[in-house]
Chain A
Amino acid sequence: MNTQNPAAKNSLLTPFNVTVGIIFLLGALITFLRFTKGLAGVTNLSDNNPWGVWISFDLMCGVALAAGGYTTSAACYVFGLKRYHSAVRPAILTAFLGYALVVFALHYDVGRPWRLPYPIFVQSGTTSVLFEVGLCVFLYLITLFVEWTPAALEWLGFRKYRNIIVKGTLALTIFGVVLSTMHQSSLGALYLIAPSKLHPLWYSSYIPLFFFISSIAAGLSMVIFEGTLSHHFLHHKMDRTYQSEHNEVVLGFSKGAAMVLACYFLLKLVGVALDNKWHYLLTGYGAWFLVELLGFVALPCFLYAITVREKNLKLAKYASILTVLGIVLNRFNVSWFAFNWQLPAADRYFPSWMEIAISIYIVTIGVLFFRFISTKMPIFYEHPEYREHAPHEGEEEEGPEFTEHKLHKHPQTFGH
Chain B
Amino acid sequence: MLRRTFLGLLGAAGLGAALGKPAHAAGAQHFQGYPGSFGVLFDSTRCIGCRSCEAGCNKVNELPPPPEPFDDLSVLNTKRRTHAWTYTVVNRYDNIPGAAGPVYKKWQCNHCLEPACASSCFVRAFTKTPQGAVTWDGTVCVGCRYCMIACPFEIPTFEYSEPLTPRIMKCTLCYPQITSGKLKVPGCVGACPVEALVYGKRSDLIKIARERFHTFPGRYLNQIYGEHEMGGTNWLYISGVPFSALGMREDLGVTPAPELTSGALATVPIVAAAWPVLLTGIYAINKRKDKIARQEEAQAVARAVAQAQAEAGAKLKKAMTKAEAEQKAAIEREVKRALEEAVKGQSQEGE
Partners in one complex: yes
**CB within 8 Å of B: which residues of A?**
34-41, 43, 45-48, 50-51, 74-75, 77-82, 109-112, 115-116, 118-119, 122-125, 127-132, 134, 170, 173-175, 177-178, 181-182, 185-186, 189-197, 205-206, 208-209, 212-213, 216, 252, 255-256, 259-260, 263
In the complex, A97→B340 CA distance in Å? 95
In the complex, A35→B18 CA distance in Å? 41
Annotate B273-285 by CB proximity to A: 1 below 8 A, 0 otherwise: 0011001101100
- Which of B121, B161, B275 sits near A128, CB closer than 8 Å? B121
In the complex, A185→B264 CA distance in Å? 9
B265, CB-defined interface residue at 8 Å: yes
Interchain CB contact under 8 A, A178 and B272: yes
**CB within 8 Å of A: which residues of B?**
2-4, 6-7, 10-11, 13-15, 17-18, 21, 81-84, 116, 118-125, 140-146, 148-150, 152, 154, 156-167, 249, 251-253, 257-258, 260-265, 267-268, 271-272, 275-276, 279-280, 282-283, 286-287, 289-290
- Which of B265, B271, B280 sits near A127, CB closer than 8 Å? B265
Interchain CB contact under 8 A, A190 and B149: yes
In the complex, A41→B159 CA distance in Å? 12
Given A77-B283, A194-B149, is A118 in contact with B123 using a C-beta cutoff of 8 Å? yes
Interchain CB contact under 8 A, A128 and B282: no
In the complex, A76→B142 CA distance in Å? 38
Given A193-B116, A194-B149, is A38 in contact with B279 using a C-beta cutoff of 8 Å? no
Chain A to chain B contacts (Cβ below 8 Å), 12 pairs: A43-B160, A50-B148, A74-B279, A79-B286, A111-B158, A122-B140, A127-B119, A130-B146, A181-B13, A189-B261, A196-B251, A256-B7
What number of residue pairs across chains A and B have CB atoms under 8 A from each other?
A: 221
In order of increasing CB-CB distance, the 4 nearest A-B pairs are A111-B143, A80-B286, A50-B145, A40-B160
In the complex, A174→B286 CA distance in Å? 15
Interchain CB contact under 8 A, B119 and A110: no
Task: Name the residue on A nearest B165 (C-beta).
Answer: A112
Interchain CB contact under 8 A, A259 and B7: yes
Interchain CB contact under 8 A, A78 and B279: yes
Set of chain B residues within 8 Å of A81, measured between Cβ atoms: 2-3
Set of chain A residues within 8 Å of B253, measured between Cβ atoms: 195
Q: How far is the CB of A257 from chain B (nearest CB, A)?
A: 10
Set of chain A residues within 8 Å of B82, measured between Cβ atoms: 47
Interchain CB contact under 8 A, B81 and A48: yes
Set of chain A residues within 8 Å of B125, measured between Cβ atoms: 125
Set of chain A residues within 8 Å of B163, measured between Cβ atoms: 34-38, 41
Q: How far is the CB of B253 from chain A (nearest CB, A)?
A: 8
Given A35-B163, A51-B145, A192-B264, is A122 in contact with B123 using a C-beta cutoff of 8 Å? yes
Interchain CB contact under 8 A, B166 and A39: yes
Q: How far is the CB of A205 from chain B (nearest CB, A)?
A: 6
- Which of A43, A124, A129, A181 sits near B271, CB closer than 8 Å? A181
In the complex, A109→B149 CA distance in Å? 14
In the complex, A270→B3 CA distance in Å? 23
- Which of A41, A175, A209, A256 sits near B3, CB closer than 8 Å? A256
Q: How far is the CB of A164 from chain B (nearest CB, A)?
A: 20
In the complex, A133→B84 CA distance in Å? 27
Interchain CB contact under 8 A, A196 and B146: no
Set of chain B residues within 8 Å of A193, measured between Cβ atoms: 116, 119-120, 149-150, 257, 260-261
Set of chain B residues within 8 Å of A189, measured between Cβ atoms: 261, 264-265
Q: How far is the CB of B280 from chain A (nearest CB, A)?
A: 7
In the complex, A131→B271 CA distance in Å? 16
Interchain CB contact under 8 A, A124 and B141: no
In the complex, A124→B125 CA distance in Å? 10
Apart from the given pairs A125-B123, A205-B21, A209-B17, 19 other A-B contacts in the complex at a CB distance below 8 Å: A38-B163, A47-B81, A48-B81, A78-B286, A80-B287, A109-B144, A112-B141, A112-B164, A112-B166, A116-B142, A127-B120, A174-B275, A174-B279, A177-B275, A189-B261, A192-B264, A193-B116, A205-B18, A209-B14
Interchain CB contact under 8 A, A115 and B142: yes
In the complex, A137→B4 CA distance in Å? 28
Q: How far is the CB of B305 from chain A (nearest CB, A)?
A: 19
Interchain CB contact under 8 A, A80 and B146: no
Set of chain B residues within 8 Å of A252, measured between Cβ atoms: 3
Task: Name the residue on A nearest B83 (C-beta).
Answer: A47
Interchain CB contact under 8 A, A41 and B162: no
Set of chain A residues within 8 Å of B161, measured between Cβ atoms: 37-41
Interchain CB contact under 8 A, A128 and B119: yes
Given A47-B154, A79-B2, A174-B280, is A182 in contact with B149 using a C-beta cutoff of 8 Å? no
In the complex, A70→B7 CA distance in Å? 14
- Which of B7, B84, B140 sits near A263, CB closer than 8 Å? B7
Q: How far is the CB of B331 from chain A (nearest CB, A)?
A: 48
In the complex, A45→B84 CA distance in Å? 13
Q: How far is the CB of B269 from chain A (nearest CB, A)?
A: 10
Set of chain A residues within 8 Å of B144, measured between Cβ atoms: 109-111, 130
Given A193-B260, A208-B264, is A118 in contact with B142 using a C-beta cutoff of 8 Å? yes
Interchain CB contact under 8 A, A111 and B162: yes
Interchain CB contact under 8 A, B283 and A80: yes
Set of chain B residues within 8 Å of A256, measured between Cβ atoms: 3, 7
Q: How far is the CB of A69 from chain B (nearest CB, A)?
A: 15
Interchain CB contact under 8 A, B123 and A132: no
In the complex, A189→B265 CA distance in Å? 9
In the complex, A13→B244 CA distance in Å? 61
- Which of B120, B165, B286 sits near A130, CB closer than 8 Å? B120
Given A47-B148, A123-B140, A192-B260, is A206 in contact with B18 using a C-beta cutoff of 8 Å? yes
Set of chain B residues within 8 Å of A255, measured between Cβ atoms: 3
Q: How far is the CB of B52 from chain A (nearest CB, A)?
A: 24
Task: Name the residue on B nearest A175 (C-beta).
Answer: B276
Q: How far is the CB of A79 from chain B (nearest CB, A)?
A: 5
In the complex, A256→B120 CA distance in Å? 35
Q: How far is the CB of A154 from chain B (nearest CB, A)?
A: 24
- Which of B122, B142, B289, B290 sits near A111, CB closer than 8 Å? B142
Task: Name the residue on A nearest B138 (C-beta).
Answer: A112
Q: How far is the CB of A160 from chain B (nearest CB, A)?
A: 26
Given A118-B123, A122-B140, is A195 in contact with B260 using a C-beta cutoff of 8 Å? yes
Q: How far is the CB of B20 from chain A (nearest CB, A)?
A: 10
Given A36-B163, A38-B162, is A129 in contact with B264 using a C-beta cutoff of 8 Å? yes
Set of chain B residues within 8 Å of A181, measured between Cβ atoms: 13-14, 271, 275
Q: How far is the CB of B87 from chain A (nearest CB, A)?
A: 12
Interchain CB contact under 8 A, A45 and B265: no
In the complex, A260→B166 CA distance in Å? 43
